[in-house]
């Protein structure tokens, strides 16, 4: 597997010298991880389920899609299910002490609905998946899927490795499952091993862009809710990481270069020391056009498609 050169000097040197090569190195490293997970699952007779968990803005949605694609290329029909579609209606989600909804809690999910949906799929080979609309905070009926005996499911979400969820999967043996944990697992360093962007900061950058692009949320709102997001991850997700069979580091070392010019105007509008620090860190990177990110890159989950 390709090494991760997560140093500012290296990133900027290649961004100036050969940006296409910088991009391809990052994309190839991630692609090889996806292919190895798909190959592992496809080789096990009777394999049924890939559970994919990770913190916010780790790239779960794209990774689930790419694993399903790679399995499809190996002749295995695969269905993707997102735990986000099993959220309770907003008014029923538990409250935090400050009165806001605790979207990070496993109790924000309709576990009985998830259990009955999976049991129906596994039992009868057919079921209806719900769909959650984040703009209205409501769940609606989604699509009906048919599950053939040799098909697989990729189930992705913050709580996909939580024992409270995996207990709903009665009848599926451990060897029929692959448990995957994805996150940004590398920092980016400046000179003298100074941390320029830590793992959470890289995910925060992604989250601000995604929320602005797809959820119509202001950067200030995302920044304000981030401490609650990370507290929820520490409570609900981190304890489940040891259950994973495979760890994915989703960093793409060129991402600060393509995020930089889109994010700086959003941060400039926030009068806070945290936003100013994040902006100063991003300003250290050589800017690259977002168009360099391939159309199927994980980074498109945050950048959106080029117009």
Task: Give the pLDDT band (50/70/90) at residue 301.
Answer: very high
Percent of the chain past pLDDT 90, that is, above it, reads 72
The reported pLDDT for the residue numbered 284 is: 98
86-111 average pLDDT score: 89
Asked if 63 and 87 touch (Cβ cutoff 8 Å), the reply is no
The reported pLDDT for the residue numbered 307 is: 46
Q: How far apart are CA 123 and CA 270, in angstroms?
A: 51
Reading the block at residue 280, the tokens are 């100063």
Strand partners, 49: 153, 177
Range of the domain at 269: 8-303
Does a structural domain hold residue 2? no
Q: How far apart are CA 33 and CA 13, in angstroms?
A: 26
Instruction: Find the distance separating the first CA and the last CA of the chain, reported in whole Å.
Output: 33
Q: Is the pLDDT score of 10 beyond 60?
A: yes
The reported pLDDT for the residue numbered 170 is: 66
Q: Is the pLDDT score of 196 beyond 60?
A: yes
- The total number of structural domains in the chain stands at 1
Task: Give the pLDDT band (50/70/90) at residue 56.
Answer: very high
280-301 average pLDDT score: 97
The reported pLDDT for the residue numbered 296 is: 95
Question: Within a 10 A sphere around the Cβ of 91, how many other Cβ atoms?
Answer: 8
Reading the block at residue 88, the tokens are 């309770």
Does a structural domain hold residue 207? yes
Tens-place pLDDT, residues 110-159: 999 998 898 888 888 899 999 998 878 898 878 899 998 889 999 999 99
Structure-derived torsion over alpha carbons of residues 7, 8, 13, 15, reported in degrees to the nearest 10: 110
Tens-place pLDDT, residues 153-176: 999 999 999 998 887 776 788 888
The reported pLDDT for the residue numbered 141 is: 78
Task: Give the pLDDT band (50/70/90) at residue 3.
Answer: confident
Does a structural domain hold residue 3? no
Q: Which residue do the tokens 């620090």 mark?
A: 277
Tens-place pLDDT, residues 210-223: 999 888 889 999 99
Q: How far apart are CA 155 and CA 169, in angstroms?
A: 11
Tens-place pLDDT, residues 66-84: 999 999 999 999 999 999 9
Does a structural domain hold residue 1? no
Q: How far apart are CA 205 and CA 42, in angstroms?
A: 35
pTM over 0.85: yes
Output the domain CATH number for residue 172: 3.40.50.300
């Amino acid at each position: 597997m390709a090494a991760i050169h997560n140093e500012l000097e290296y990133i900027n040197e290649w961004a100036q010298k050969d940006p296409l090569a910088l991009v391809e190195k990052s994309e190839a490293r991630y692609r090889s991880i996806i292919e190895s997970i798909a190959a592992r699952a496809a080789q096990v007779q009777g394999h049924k389920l890939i559970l994919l968990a990770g913190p916010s803005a780790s790239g779960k949605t794209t990774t689930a899609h790419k694993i399903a694609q790679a399995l499809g290329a190996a002749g295995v029909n695969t269905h993707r299910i997102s735990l986000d579609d099993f959220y309770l209606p907003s008014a029923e989600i538990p409250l935090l002490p400050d009165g806001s909804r605790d979207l990070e809690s496993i109790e924000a999910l309709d576990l009985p609905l998830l259990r009955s949906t999976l049991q129906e799929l596994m039992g009868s080979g057919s079921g209806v998946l719900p769909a959650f609309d984040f703009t209205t905070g409501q769940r609606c009926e989604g699509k009906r899927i048919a599950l053939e005996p040799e098909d697989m499911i990729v189930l992705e979400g913050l709580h996909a490795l939580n024992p409270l969820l995996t207990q709903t999967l009665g009848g599926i043996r451990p060897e029929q499952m692959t448990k995957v944990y994805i996150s940004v697992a590398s920092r980016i360093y400046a000179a003298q091993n100074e941390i320029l962007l830590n793992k959470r900061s890289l995910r925060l950058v992604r989250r601000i862009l995604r929320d602005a692009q797809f959820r119509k949320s202001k950067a200030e709102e995302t920044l304000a809710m981030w401490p609650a997001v990370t507290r929820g991850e520490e409570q609900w997700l981190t304890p489940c990481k040891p259950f994973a069979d495979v760890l994915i580091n989703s960093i793409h070392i060129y991402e600060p270069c393509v995020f930089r010019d889109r994010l700086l105007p959003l941060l400039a509008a926030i009068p806070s020391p945290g936003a100013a620090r994040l902006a100063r860190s991003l300003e250290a990177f050589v800017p690259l056009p977002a168009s360099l990110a391939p159309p199927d890159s994980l980074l498109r989950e945050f950048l959106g498609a080029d117009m």
